[in-house]
């Protein structure tokens, strides 16, 4: 399987000869409790921390412009429009081209109504979407997000994961660090790596990893109730996927 980025024999912080590779065009979660090394690993993968342990697929990642990294919501400009335009201005694109690209990305990320707003007037979710637009407007091949939905409501998390899933279908490989497993259930065919004190203790496809709830509890992770129920029912072949709606679960089982 083609990998976008590989980390080999990383010894840094809590990591002792860590090895991990991220498949091309995948949706990958790196999860674990606090101090497990999630954020540090993303900084290494993004190149923010430069080590000799990281290799990129040179057919995919050809420059820094091919990597987007969201690790906070700090903005350099007070205007939403200027913030989103800036990466394209740095590339020297003409105004007409920039205007088209800004309009398109704003529509895709559902922030068209915010283009004339000031950053200070936005709520946390809108700020996150503006930061996302800034990081993907130049069509990177790899996008890393450090616990992006920490302060979002469940509905906002579901909406944001849907936006990211659509971006993935464009050919963007997405890696998210998260201290919660709630976001995972809003994606399709995602991969999960579970870290504990710098060690990968579990990895694989979403349902396989979530099925091992005893291991997840041991490392300080808790399954949301409906996820836990769905996983247990799937084990007995009573359901085929995770259902976050209690009413939806009842209707499915009744049928």
Which DSSP helix (H) or strand (E) runs through 15?
strand 15-23
Q: What span, in angstroms and rounded, lies between the C-alpha atoms of 162 and 183?
A: 10
Q: What pLDDT does 243 receive? A: 67
Q: Where in the chain is the domain with CATH 3.40.50.300?
A: 1-61+141-222
Q: What pLDDT does 244 receive? A: 62
Pairing status of strand 3-12 against strand 15-23: antiparallel
Selection from 239, 94, 109 nearest residue 172 by Cα: 109
Q: How far is CA 224 from the centre of its chain?
A: 19
What residues contact 95, with CB distance under 8 A and at least 6 apart?
none
- Burial category of 13 from C-beta neighbours within 10 Å (exposed 0-12, middle 13-18, buried 19 and up): middle
Residues of the chain with confidence (pLDDT) below 50: none
What residues contact 228, with CB distance under 8 A and at least 6 apart?
213
Q: What pLDDT does 229 receive? A: 81
What average pLDDT does the chain have? Answer: 91
Q: What pLDDT does 83 receive? A: 97
The domain over range 1-61+141-222 is classified in CATH as 3.40.50.300 = yes
Reported as a single tens digit per residue, the pLDDT across 6-42 is 999 999 999 999 999 999 999 999 999 888 999 999 9
The answer to whether 111 touches 133, Cβ cutoff 8 Å, is yes
What 3-state DSSP class applies to 130? helix
Angle of helix 124-136 relative to helix 95-108, nearest 10 degrees?
130
State the maximum Cα–Cα separation within the chain, in Å, rounded to a whole number: 59
Q: What pLDDT does 50 receive? A: 92
Q: How many residues does the chain have?
A: 255
Q: What pLDDT does 34 receive? A: 84
């Amino acid at each position: 399987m083609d990998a976008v980025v590989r980390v080999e024999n990383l010894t840094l912080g809590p990591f002792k000869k860590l090895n991990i590779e991220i498949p091309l065009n995948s949706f990958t979660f790196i999860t674990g409790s606090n101090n497990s090394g999630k954020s540090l690993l993303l900084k290494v993968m993004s190149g923010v921390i430069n080590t000799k342990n990281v290799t990129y697929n040179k057919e995919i990642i050809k420059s820094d412009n091919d990597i987007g990294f969201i690790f906070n919501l700090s903005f350099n400009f007070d205007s939403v429009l200027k913030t989103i335009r800036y990466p394209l201005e740095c590339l020297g694109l003409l105004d007409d081209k920039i205007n088209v690209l800004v309009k398109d990305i704003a529509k895709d990320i559902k922030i068209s109504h915010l283009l004339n707003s000031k950053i200070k007037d936005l709520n946390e979710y809108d700020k996150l979407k503006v930061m996302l637009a800034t990081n993907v407007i130049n069509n990177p091949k790899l996008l890393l997000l450090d616990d992006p939905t920490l302060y979002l409501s469940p509905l906002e998390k579901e909406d944001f994961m849907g936006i990211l899933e659509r971006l993935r279908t464009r050919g963007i490989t997405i890696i998210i660090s998260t201290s919660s497993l709630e976001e995972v259930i809003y994606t399709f065919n995602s991969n999960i790596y579970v870290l504990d004190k710098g060690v990968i203790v579990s990895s694989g496809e979403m349902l396989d990893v979530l099925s091992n709830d005893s291991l997840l509890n041991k490392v300080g992770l808790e399954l949301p109730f409906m996820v836990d129920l769905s996983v247990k029912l799937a084990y007995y072949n009573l359901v085929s996927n995770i259902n976050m709606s209690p009413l939806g679960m009842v209707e499915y089982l009744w049928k």
